[in-house]
Chain A
Amino acid sequence: MLSRTGVATCENIESILPPKERLQKGPVAVIECFQQIPCNPCYSSCPRNAIKPFDDINDLPVLDYESCNGCGTCIHNCPGLAIFVVDETYTEEEALVKLPYEYTPLPKVGDLVEALDREGKKVGQAQVVKVQNAKGQDRTPVLWVSVSKHLSQQVRNIGMEG
């Protein structure tokens, strides 16, 4: 149970996962925010207004999967670092996962790294495809990593050095 372990359960994940048909169309945000806390930057930062307006600042975000194009602006704006973008159309065998990563050293493009799940356990290998660290991201770099397609909804971190 999430409130005891800090790890989202399968039911938690299923409740927010974009539908299969949407995942097959390309990159889309996966918002792993399951607790009502007073917080709305995902909504206010989305350039496409894909997150529905909050009636109350404590509302959970509701994503309009069709409006979201997986741009990832919400990833570095989410104070809880709880948003990921998954692209299951990346290649035939691989999916792309964009994840926030506030650790040093930053990996380099091309690096092969451990793919970690929500418990920090190694579930496979990931390759770093891109490291986004623009000034506007305010020191929350976003890593694009490619992983085996069946791991697209499991991989949420990479092995940290040091």
Chain B
Amino acid sequence: MLSYEIAVIGGGPAGLCAAISAAAAGASVALIEKDRHLGGQLVKQTHMFFGSKAQFASTRGIDIADILSRQCEELKNITVLLGATVLGYYDDQVLTIEQDNKVQRVKADCLVVATGASEKVLPFPNNDLPGIYGAGAVQTLMNVYGVKPADRVLMVGAGNIGLIVSYQLLQAHVKVAGIIEAAKHIGGYLVHASKIRRAGVPIMTGYTIKKAYGERKVEGAIVWQLDDRWQPIPGTELDIPVDAVCLAVGLTPMGELLWQAGCQMIYVPQLGGHVPFRKATLETTVPGIYVAGDVAGVEEASSAMVEGRLAGLAAARRLGYHNADWENKYQDALQQLMALRSGPVGEKICSGLKCVVV
């Protein structure tokens, strides 16, 4: 059985930062990633990040993945396990993982769960036709594999993902017929929306998809307007011919391991779904199990990175790694998180966190 002081599950922005900060504090760390490469969603993110220098503002997500991966490589006390899927959590902090068709056990004194979030889907007639994509799949096809996903796309959802993926589709010379958004207001950053609009793409707020149609694949979609009570208004239907419909209707935390480990969970809509109760240190109700990033509540990658740093530091301290620098780093991470969440766009997250921080 492999044995480490800290096992970090998930090699996205939160997990990378957790592994780096814990290892820099002195702990031996296993970073377990199910994909063949580190970075998580960062590798698809060709846009520049917001935030401040401390969170790599103005740097593209894909480059942040490289920077953090390199920092990981430089720390000799991090073991990176790629293509390794955590199958389960057992008592005494034992994980079973599958890697290269082999199952092995990993024991760790502390866990940082940074498994991220998965995309929500939307129920509507014919949503199983080929050509109905999640936005993440479209991004993976385009930005990871260099495959053009369609010729003309309807985007459903004007949150940051819907806006950003629309922009990337335009960059890949895919027509975006329009972005529809059920809410009355655009959910994503308005600068992203303005970028799409000046490229000639309409954004229709207060609209949802009624159905998709097509013989063997998507040939178009019918959209209709919603009233103030979110009820569709008959007679407002519009027929939009497209060969793909891309769903960007939100994310939900992937907390399966936390459930299995017996962490107390609670449904918090502002955080995207079921999330664990946690202390300010990001330790869950099971001592020694920490969370960071979207699994703790769906938020921006900038905050996920800072949460990762925080959880990594806290886990290291639990194991006795507490040098003179520790307190400064910990306070700095707390400050950064507070600053990122202090404005109007952070209000929703803060109201959600009030329900889960114990």
Contacts and interface: CB of A to CB of B under 8 A. Distances in A.
Contacts of B302: 38
Given A7-B194, A37-B50, A80-B192, A58 B186 contact: no
Contacts of B60: 138-139
Contacts of B192: 80
A40 B197 contact: no
Q: What's the interface size class on B, roughly? A: 35 or more
Interface string B179-217: 000001110011111111111110101000000000000
Given A56-B342, A80-B192, A116 B48 contact: no
A162 B51 CA distance: 33
Contacts of A94: none
Contacts of A32: 191, 194
B51 A5 contact: no
Interface in B35-67: 47-53, 57-60
Given A36-B345, A79-B50, A41 B57 contact: yes
Contacts of A118: 194, 197-198
Interface residues on A, range: 35 or more
B173 interface: yes
Contacts of B58: 41, 45, 77-79, 138
B123 interface: no
Dominant secondary structure of chain A at its interface with chain B: loop
A116 B200 contact: yes
Contacts, number: 135
Instruction: Count chain B CB atoms within 10 A of each CB in A4, A39, A44 and give the residue with the most.
Output: A39
A6 B204 CA distance: 10
B150 interface: no
Contact of A39 (B51, B185, B196, B344): B51
A6 B194 contact: yes
B106 interface: no
Given A37-B50, A40-B57, A44-B53, A57 B339 contact: yes
* Most chain A CB neighbours (cut-off 10 Å) among B158, B198, B199, B339: B198
A146 B166 CA distance: 28
B115 to A, nearest CB: 24
B323 interface: no
A58 B344 contact: yes
Interface string A56-70: 111000000000000
Contact of B198 (A77, A80, A120): A120
B346 interface: yes
Interface of B: 47-53, 57-60, 158, 170-171, 173, 184-186, 189-201, 203, 205, 302, 339-346
16 contacts: A5-B203, A6-B203, A7-B194, A35-B344, A35-B345, A36-B343, A38-B50, A38-B51, A39-B50, A39-B57, A58-B342, A77-B58, A79-B50, A80-B191, A118-B194, A156-B198
Interface of A: 2-8, 32-41, 44-45, 56-58, 77-82, 102-104, 116-121, 138-140, 156-157, 160, 162
